Structure 1
Amino acid sequence: MSDPQLPLLAAGLAAATVGLMALSMLAFRHSLPNVDRRFMDPLSWPERMVWPLVRFLAHYFARGLSVETIERIRRQLVHAGWDFRMTPEQYFALRLLAATLAGTLSTLALIAVDRFSPALALVAVGFGYVAPALKLAEARKQRSRAIVRLLPTYLDFITMAVEAGLSLPGALLQATQNGPDGLLKQEIQRVNRDIKAGSGRIEALEAMAARLDLREVTSVVAALAQAERTGGSVGNTLRIQADQQRIERFQRAEKLAMEAPVKLIFPLVAFIFPTTFLVLAFPIVMKLLHDV
């Protein structure tokens, strides 16, 4: 087969693959189980557009996942706050769909400019498969930063409520009613629901620490559990933890402020200094040219 025919064959195969996937989804759509999303988190608009394909791939292609893989993906979704957004099977199907779409679109684009390369198409497929994982990791980082930033504030609310005579569940309820909105408020509300459902207060807090998987939250819950088991003062423990978390938040802000000048070096050297030199040198060069 000659080289000019290879891009045409690849384009035909890519188009046939997409067409067969669409036909298969239409043929088997009635066999897909109905999913009630009324009590789940809303999807973004790109996810809503491809969600029928995600459901199809999750139902027919994610069945072979091992139990260990499903549990690992489930932990990742929980830590990023996506556990009420999609199942592990749907997340794996989303990665497969992203890889397929990236490979197909890149192949068509390369053929359109007459620069088809199997290596570039494979790179696009790999990037499409990794992109949802990068999005998930970024969501976990943003979630962690938001929770750690609000942790000292909520510890202050809970400490004041406990020292005023309320029990720990009552203090948690007061904190959610009067504290600032955010992800930490949602997690504490979930702790309150677990306690009302019959879980012990320490067990509910430990479940929250396992969901968040943050050193700061884990240390606070461990200190509260130790005070509860040894009969120590919960109020004093909370006050010590609130002071410690406030000091750590100030140290993190101080560290970011010290890193700012270092991070500004590259933009200054690459963009600002050349533009400044160009603006200053232009009149001098023009004057020299006219004088000559």
Structure 2
Amino acid sequence: MSIMYISIFISLSMFFYAMLAIQSSKKIHMEKRIQFFFEKNAQVLLEENEAEIQESFSERVLMPLWKNLKIKFQKSLDKEKTNQLELRLAQAGYPFGWSAIEFKIIQTSILAFMPILGFGFAYLLNLENHLKLLFSMPFFIVGFIAPSMFLKSKMQKRNKEALKEIPDTLDLLTISLEAGLGFDAALSKVVSKKSGVLSDEFTFALEEIRIGKTRKEALGGIQERLQIDELKNLIYCIVQAEKLGIGMVSVLRVQTEEIREKRKNRAEEAAMKAPIKMLFPLVLFIFPTLFIILLGPAILQFMESF
């Protein structure tokens, strides 16, 4: 009997020991998991802090500020004014990739900064208070008109570049059509071989046609973005030729000849205006210098004789 009791006692002892060992191992495993979790989170937080520290000042401060300004200006502008500004930016070729909201922020910043700059110059010159205000007015006017003048100059430059590209682009388009390509395929072939303002506009029009716009709508968008009379006539003729079933090649040939003739007339007109434009520099700068060189010694001798 004693042996049986001893066996039962040993068995129960082993059982309880095993249970305690299992509980202890679970506890140790849980502690290790908790420790690993905290160490991992601490490492992630440390890496995020290091990444934030390594970011530049513009990424940490200026970019969030810029985004907040864009949101505020977007709420303050109505849709009609935004669309008008978007059209002007499109006509200028989206300088620096500005959107309408970004351009409005820059325009407002310049308008606010220029009078402050003028007042600062007036302060350095030790002007009186009423003169400081007058001195700042031209800076305010410059800040008001400078962004619009910048867009206008970009638009004019873009129109001139596109006007120069029209004849060569039409020649390539005519050759592609004569080779048997359709209009869209021929236009795609031309823009793949050329670069420039007109090529970019035709590429954009082809993308609009692919997403579902009609050819008339896509080409009409080019008319809005490029204010060129020759291009407007060309697009009108292309749309009418498609509508009436007229051969596109003959239409393009006639348009190319007319555009080249107008280009020649503009060159002749500019050449005829050149002598008149040269007259003012001659009278104001060159003739006085010649008079000083030729008559100067004679005048000096005449003065010495008396």
The TM tier, using the shorter chain, reads 0.7 to 0.9
Match for 1:98: what amino acid?
Answer: I
What does residue range 105-254 of structure 1 map to in structure 2 within 5 Å? 105-115=117-127, 116-179=131-194, 181-254=195-268
Aligned pair partner of 1:262 in 255, 264, 276: 276
* TM-fit CA distance, 1:129: 2.0
TM-score normalised to structure 1 length = 0.76
Q: CA separation in 1, counterparts of 2:64 and 2:161?
A: 41
Contact 1:223 1:237 in 2 (8 A): yes
* TM-fit CA distance, 1:194: 2.9
CA deviation map 1:141-179 (0-9, x unaligned): 000111011111111111121122211112212222333
Q: Does 1:77 align with 2:92?
A: no
Q: CA separation in 2, counterparts of 1:67 and 1:194?
A: 22
- Figure out how many residues of one structure are paired with residues of the other and give that number: 246
Q: Which runs of 5+ in 1 are unaligned?
A: 1-24, 33-51
Q: Give aligned-pair identity as a percent.
A: 27
Match for 1:155: what amino acid?
Answer: L
Q: Which has the higher mean CA deviation after the structures are superposed, 118-127 or 100-109?
A: 118-127
Structure 1 match to 2:23: none
Q: CA separation in 2, counterparts of 1:29 and 1:264?
A: 50
1:29 to 1:176, Cα distance in 2 relative to 1, 3 A: closer
* TM-fit CA distance, 1:63: 3.0
1:117 match: secondary structure: helix
2:76 match: secondary structure: coil
Structure 1 match to 2:108: 96
Contact 1:74 1:83 in 2 (8 A): no
Q: CA separation in 1, counterparts of 2:293 and 2:74?
A: 59
Match for 2:232: what amino acid?
Answer: T
Structure 1 match to 2:4: none
Match for 2:76: what amino acid?
Answer: G
1:65 to 1:233, Cα distance in 2 relative to 1, 3 A: same
Q: CA separation in 1, counterparts of 2:152 and 2:215?
A: 30
Q: CA separation in 1, counterparts of 2:153 and 2:250?
A: 36
Q: CA separation in 2, counterparts of 1:281 and 1:67?
A: 68
Q: CA separation in 2, counterparts of 1:125 and 1:62?
A: 24
Q: CA separation in 2, counterparts of 1:174 and 1:150?
A: 16
* TM-fit CA distance, 1:88: 1.5
Q: Which runs of 5+ in 2 are unaligned?
A: 1-57
Q: CA separation in 2, counterparts of 1:202 and 1:287?
A: 78
Q: CA separation in 2, counterparts of 1:59 and 1:236?
A: 52
1:210 to 1:126, Cα distance in 2 relative to 1, 3 A: same
Match for 2:113: what amino acid?
Answer: L
Structure 2 match to 1:45: none
Q: CA separation in 1, counterparts of 2:228 and 2:145?
A: 24
